[in-house]
Structure 1
Amino acid sequence: MNKLINPKILFKRLAFSLVAICLSLTQVQAQFHIIPQPLHLSAQKGYFSLSSKNIIGVDKESEAVGNYLQTYLAQNYKLHLKVKVYAKVPATAAIKLVTGSTAGKEGAYALKVTPGKIAIAGNGAGVFYGVQSLIQLLHTVKPAAILQVMACDIADEPRFQWRGLSLDVCRHFFTVEEVKKYIDVMAHYKLNVFHWHLTDDEGWRIQIDKYPKLTEVGAKISYYEKLGKFRKLDNLIDGGRDGFYTKDDIRSVIKYAQDRFITILPEIEMPGHSEAAIFAYPELGCQDSTGAKHRVRMLDPSEHTFTFMEDVLTEVIALFPNQYIHIGGDEAEMIDWLKSPTAVALMKKEGLTNEKEIQSYFIKRIEKFLISKNKKLVGWDEILQGGLAESATVMSWQGEAGGIAAAKMHHHVIMTPLPYMYFDAPQANEDLEPIGWNPPVTWQMVYNYEPQSKELTPEEAAYILGVQGNIWVEKIPNLPHLEYMVYPRALALAELAWSAKEDKNIDRFEYKMKQQYGLFKLWNLNARLPDIVGVDNLVTNKDQYNLTLKYPLVGAKVRYTLDGKAPDSASTAVNFPVKIARTLKDSLFLKTYTTWTLNKQHIRQVAYIKHITVDPAKESAAKLTPGLSYKLIKTKETNPAKLDTVTVAVTAIINSAVPMVQPVTDGNITWAKFSGFIKIDTEGDYEITSGFEISPELLLDGEVIISRGKNTYVEPQKALLHLKKGIYTLAGEYIADALNTNQTLIRLKTAGGKELNAESYLFHL
């Protein structure tokens, strides 16, 4: 007999089911936070229970990866699985690692997790990369007897073959164990080239048997500086850190990297940045025929110098089994050669007309030697000057121009341009971050970078081997500071270098990135904390300011003020979420100090909340036509206040929020001044922002609502306005460049977050 179900009970059951479904979906979403994003990933039903009872079944080729997984699980989860080698791994193995059975590029892999087993197959490094994806599927709570891995299917392969990260150990020395930890984290995110910057002005870090003073003297620059025998190290934040790697140290690091499928690119700087070598062996330095005494960082282009460098490179090549040797070539003070008797004689002998041709001669001599040793030369983009060596690979750091030029010449290129790939820059407002070089570079800027420029044809773009992040350590004296600067930006680099271009999704990446902090805690990695979302510079005409501070990391707390005074560790801390509600009569200055108790870290943020008044204009809508009125001004003038004195080159009406204004290339600046109206059909709350990475100036009813020249990721700006039905004057200006040509000038959203079509609200007379 069927019983009637009480509607209240039915509703409760239905609600419970919906909650269960939502929790299940949330759990699936939380589990699949793999960085870099796999090419293909699909969730399946159920999960695999991983415990010490499981056997890791491997073939001979994947045995080392099996041992790596075994060690990782033991160290991080106290799970002690056995590795068993098979001629052919049986299908019944709980965890099956097999090499050489997957289609696709070098490094491709397939990972399949079912309730009964885990199977990883791959080409070359593919099995290892599959294991790294598996590691990111594991939860990061305390060690447990059983780990549950969500069932899934993954088929994946890398976009670029060169996925690099550098480390400068010259300005501050890092120990073998610190370097190995750096390599470990690279491996977790499938980065595969470790660029080891081993020599520079502030220190020589690699043992060379034939020239022992390079380490006896050149590796102890900080020591000699304190004795007054070397120049003052004024570009360092402290006295530097001395040290060098023995050949056994180098071999140990190389083996460690090889076990993680990472190639090491050694860099031996020349002809500039050689002050440490010259301090050890003064005869290497560029001589000055005028007798003037000055700092000498340039190698003299003598036969003695070439013999010395060939001897050094011979020992370096004997250590490093990889294909490439990096010889620097950057920031050479070539003008010194014009005062050198050796260089002047060389110019006469070889028919060279200027110092750049000496640089080219120097690089080509070294290239010829490297080719004789079956090695390839890599250099910074200055090696293009005076003529590029025939087989050289260019590492483009001074922006993209050098890399684009080299690719058009059919030379291989690694893109590593300022500012996007320089991780020694601050990650947010410079006043709130540790000291660094250059303007801030956020993880969003790294993620949005595209290594294959639109200026290249598909054939030319194929010469872009990949992308690399750089870190220079003048201002970075220790490992925790280094990790803070590199992570999480290196995760954006990893996804940029690995994942398919068409599959990039910055919102998905941000969610995944924030899930990595449990792993960072597990690995004792001092990554910079994420920002509180919504702490933005704000312009509003509303009389009430409301903001809820939310944070993705469990255990985080915040200290905040609204009076402009800076909170610190002594201020009262409150748990997230925090609701802020204040009456606005004038303006507020929000300052936050966020701490994460798990790692004893903190970050600071600031936001200025400005109160304004805006009123509709009196113009009739009947007189208006769609689009904004533009004036394009070509000038060398950088002060926008003086633009009215400059002749307007072009006038135009642009009907889109994406202006498509092409900058001039004749050495002038292209200023774009625009004016018109925003037409509001329905009274309500609206948000106005700009999609320009470097913001334009936007004025509404004569009030600045977006300030010009601010990086949208470093100092985010928005206007939250209550607008009545009517027409509001809009004006502004910006400098047109290649980047903002395809970016959105203005975005207007409703209170519900719906973005309106520009053609429905942008008008002019």
Structure 2
Amino acid sequence: MRKSLFRLMCLMGLACSSMASALALTIRPTSSISIIPQPKELVEGQGSFTLTARTPLLAQGDSALTIARFFADKLNASTGFNLRAIASKAPRRGAITLRIDPKLPLGVEGYTLSASSQGITVTGRTGQGLYYGMQTLLQLLPPTIESSTKISGVTWRIPAVSIKDEPTFEYRGALVDVCRHFLTVDEVKKHIDLLSMFKINRMHWHLTEDQGWRIEIKKYPRLTIVGSKRIEGDGSVYGGFYTQEQVRDIVKYASDRFVTVIPEIELPGHAMGAIASYPELTCFPQRRVYEVRNLWGIEQDVYCPGKETTFKFIQDVLDEVLPLFPSEYVHIGGDECPKIRWKECPDCQRRIKEEGLKNEEELQSYTIRRAQKMLAKHGKKLIGWDEILEGGLAPSATVMSWRGEDGGIKAANMGHDVIMTPGSGGLYIDHYQGDSKIEPVAICCYASLEKVYSYNPIPAAIAPDKRHHIKGAQANLWAEYLYTTDIMQYRAFPRVIALAEATWTPQDRKDYKSFERRLNGAYIRLDQHKVNYHIPLPEQPLPGSKASASLNFVAFTDTTSLTLQTSRPITIVYTTDGSEPTAESSRYTAPIKVSESQVIKVASVLPSGRLSRVRAITFDKQSYSPAVSLSSPTPGLCTQTSIGDYYRASELSAVTNWVEGVAKTTQELRPDRVTNHMDEIKRKAVIGEGYIKIPEDGCYVFSTNLDQMYLDGELFIDNTDEVPKFSRHDKSRALSAGWHKVKFIFIGAVRGGFPTYWDDAKVEYRNLKDGKFTEVTAEMLAH
């Protein structure tokens, strides 16, 4: 799913960026040339050019002078120099010359760069090409050139090279979702800076959603008064929006960096931000009280295309939005639109009959075509998700293929332009990039850096004469689980950088091992911008498998060992004396033997010296916890259920309205399932108590998304305030064969957009020496 399913209490805790500059001066990437994206043609020469305080930036023409001033400011910040951009018609010795040559035999974004000991010349076919050439020049300098403050003791040397470069694809995009989690103006600008560093030229800005409306519309003030705020599961109010003036500011900021901002105004689905503000926009405005959705997932109430007033609203909104964005493209969504309301709405059924439509799918296509005409009045082109293919495609629409590649293949073969964004290709970078047991919660799935890098936007199934319709690709960063900007950056980088090379560099020039090496320089550049990028964590493999199932509490009875691996090659360091690991700590080279209780702290370390988050793994030497004797066990768990608006287990001590019962399995502890809204059920808490039968003596790992699990009378697993999804609190215990006392607590709550009623209530276990979890069955439970 493109958009779907808590308040994530997570400290990413990466090494202090104040140390990064000093480390970067002493530890360099393995090659002096670490350009990302890899240029189309690069020839290394002899010698180098040294940037000094006396180096002039000579610009030929007004556009080149503007770009020269931009880069002079960047260079001055880190070098401490006072470099000046000077208008000049001819290059001269010892200078950096910037020029634009419309006759340059490259594409509109192409450039050449020639560097020798005598000087440097950067030529772009357009201003955009010149800008990219200068970004490449920055990457030829030591990576601390990206610092916003003066770095002392560096020789600012540029190796002699000859580069001829242009992108493979014209569309190189990154989606930013500010509806689920809002970014300030400064945070958006910082993200734009990072995109432009690596020649990403489109920012798809997702501005309206079920979970919030984020752009000011002066004709409809309730869109921001009401639609920009939602009440979270804990009762707090979450909100934010951009004024039209702020939008203009951001769009210009991006344009100055040659990033085109493409707005997305969702229709006909994902519209609860608007419907909560103006209920008349939906089919049944009197049916319930409409509120900005505080759950992730898909909303069944959508715009009503049977009412002409709905289209007037859409036209009015677009009339205010479109002048703010120079982009030729505007995204209108078109995805995940349930049609259940349309099927029972007399206005929609009348529209279907009057327009000669076959069904509700064609009604959606009708809605998209009307939106396309509204855009055309402003000279804009429509982009939509691949659902817009259903019921007939608007004639000049561009398709974003997200549900795999099939929609893109079909659209391209029909002669429509396509932008590839499939999750199956790794381009949903809200997915995991490491072991879900230790990574911040994500929606699902796994999108490794290598998978993103390896994606080829042109599937073989597209006819050769239609392949020009593939305009490029985009990485989508949906924000359901991006609770902080740190986590947003952690998901985005370095995978956005991989997408940059995947769409810029020709297929025959791509080399993932080379990319990994060059990434070490890019990390140092990101350090200068204080970016919380992902560093692969040390993970524990399942016995007999390359898959990971990391565990922070390991019970053992005699001796054991700690085996570690990472999702891609990186140095692991560790300590056993309680101290925090550093870049100089012991290197992990083989499994660590453990014979006594202790805490081993582990981290990954980059060549720059920067560390990942530290994992503290507790090893607890135990005796087998004795089983109890049950003379006549009765199947199932005794339960107590209380109807009430609870958020955490600590609230249950004062509860008196318990109703007793029996649950045959742990799954029955979650008594209801929410499909759309929390008002479908009565919220409740459930406690299940009894015994669990352990098959044989051993050290057992338990995993559950229930709020709490007690084992042998002690609180064993505590997911309080956690996202009840992909448990990150697995724990082990040495247990004798037989019956052991257990208690499980289910709290029906919404935490950070995820309701516990969406998840199952299973409890899984495995012997520590085995590699497979097994669900606790009814036969294992008794009271």
Give the structure-1-normalised TM-score: 0.67
Q: CA 1:144–1:478 in 2, change beyond 3 Å: closer, same or farther?
A: same
| Deviations 1:91-148, CA, capped at 9 Å, x for gaps | 4361000012521111111111101211100112111111111111111354446411
Conserved 8 A contact 1:548-1:579:
no
Name the counterpart of 1:690. Answer: none
Residues of 2 paired with 1:323 and 1:283: CA distance?
31
Name the counterpart of 2:753. Answer: none
| Deviations 1:511-566, CA, capped at 9 Å, x for gaps | 111222111111211111146799897679xxx99999999999x872268xxxxx
Residues of 2 paired with 1:445 and 1:463: CA distance?
23
Q: CA 1:552–1:429 in 2, change beyond 3 Å: closer, same or farther?
A: closer
Name the counterpart of 2:551. Answer: none
The answer as to 2:306 corresponding to 1:297 is no
The answer as to 2:493 corresponding to 1:487 is yes
Name the counterpart of 1:349. Answer: 354
Name the counterpart of 1:477. Answer: 483
Conserved 8 A contact 1:287-1:339:
no
Q: 1:219 aligns with which of 222, 228, 241?
A: 228
Name the counterpart of 1:97. Answer: 98
The answer as to 2:396 corresponding to 1:396 is no
Q: CA deviation at 1:297?
A: 3.4
Q: CA deviation at 1:451?
A: 0.9
Name the counterpart of 2:585. Answer: 575
> Which amino acid in 2 is paired with 1:297?
D
Name the counterpart of 2:719. Answer: none
**3-state SS, counterpart of residue 105 of structure 1:** coil
Which runs of no fewer than 5 residues in structure 1 stay unpaired? 1-25, 227-231, 562-566, 607-765
Q: CA deviation at 1:476?
A: 0.7
> Which amino acid in 2 is paired with 1:456?
I
Residues of 1 paired with 2:28 and 2:278: CA distance?
62
Name the counterpart of 2:429. Answer: 423
Name the counterpart of 1:186. Answer: 195
Name the counterpart of 2:68. Answer: 66
Structure with higher RCO (Cα < 8 A, 6+ apart): 2
Q: CA 1:336–1:571 in 2, change beyond 3 Å: closer, same or farther?
A: same
Q: 2:269 aligns with which of 247, 267, 272?
A: 272
Q: CA 1:211–1:515 in 2, change beyond 3 Å: closer, same or farther?
A: same
Name the counterpart of 1:34. Answer: 35
**3-state SS, counterpart of residue 428 of structure 2:** coil
Residues of 1 paired with 2:329 and 2:379: CA distance?
9
Matches within 5 A, 1:622-661: none
Residues of 2 paired with 1:545 and 1:254: CA distance?
54
Matches within 5 A, 1:300-311: 300-301=304-305, 302-311=307-316
> Which amino acid in 1 is paired with 2:513?
D
Name the counterpart of 1:137. Answer: 140
Matches within 5 A, 1:149-548: 149-221=158-230, 225=231, 232=233, 241-287=238-284, 297-301=301-305, 302-419=307-424, 420-530=426-536
Give the aligned CA root-mean-square deviation in angstroms: 3.4
Conserved 8 A contact 2:282-2:304:
yes
> Which amino acid in 1 is paired with 2:313?
F
Paired residues in the alignment total 555
Q: CA deviation at 1:594?
A: 3.0
Give the structure-2-normalised TM-score: 0.66
**3-state SS, counterpart of residue 613 of structure 2:** strand
Q: CA deviation at 1:89?
A: 3.2
Q: CA deviation at 1:576?
A: 5.5
| Deviations 1:407-451, CA, capped at 9 Å, x for gaps | 011100000001411111111111121111121111011011111
Name the counterpart of 2:574. Answer: 559
Residues of 2 paired with 1:61 and 1:573: CA distance?
45
**3-state SS, counterpart of residue 508 of structure 1:** helix
> Which amino acid in 1 is paired with 2:111?
Y
The answer as to 2:84 corresponding to 1:82 is yes
Name the counterpart of 2:113. Answer: 111
Matches within 5 A, 1:706-725: none
Conserved 8 A contact 2:572-2:602:
no
Residues of 1 paired with 2:180 and 2:418: CA distance?
26
**3-state SS, counterpart of residue 49 of structure 2:** strand
Residues of 1 paired with 2:593 and 2:510: CA distance?
41
Residues of 2 paired with 1:537 and 1:605: CA distance?
20
> Which amino acid in 2 is paired with 1:117?
G
Which runs of no fewer than 5 residues in structure 2 stay unpaired? 1-26, 145-150, 291-298, 547-559, 618-783
Residues of 1 paired with 2:90 and 2:140: CA distance?
23
Q: CA 1:91–1:574 in 2, change beyond 3 Å: closer, same or farther?
A: closer
Q: CA 1:271–1:58 in 2, change beyond 3 Å: closer, same or farther?
A: same
> Which amino acid in 2 is paired with 1:83?
A
Q: CA deviation at 1:601?
A: 4.1
Conserved 8 A contact 1:394-1:406:
yes
Residues of 2 paired with 1:549 and 1:350: CA distance?
61
> Which amino acid in 2 is paired with 1:492?
A
Conserved 8 A contact 1:28-1:150:
no
Q: CA deviation at 1:397?
A: 0.7
> Which amino acid in 2 is paired with 1:183?
I
Q: CA 1:281–1:54 in 2, change beyond 3 Å: closer, same or farther?
A: same
Identity of aligned residues (%): 37
Residues of 2 paired with 1:546 and 1:210: CA distance?
62
Name the counterpart of 1:643. Answer: none
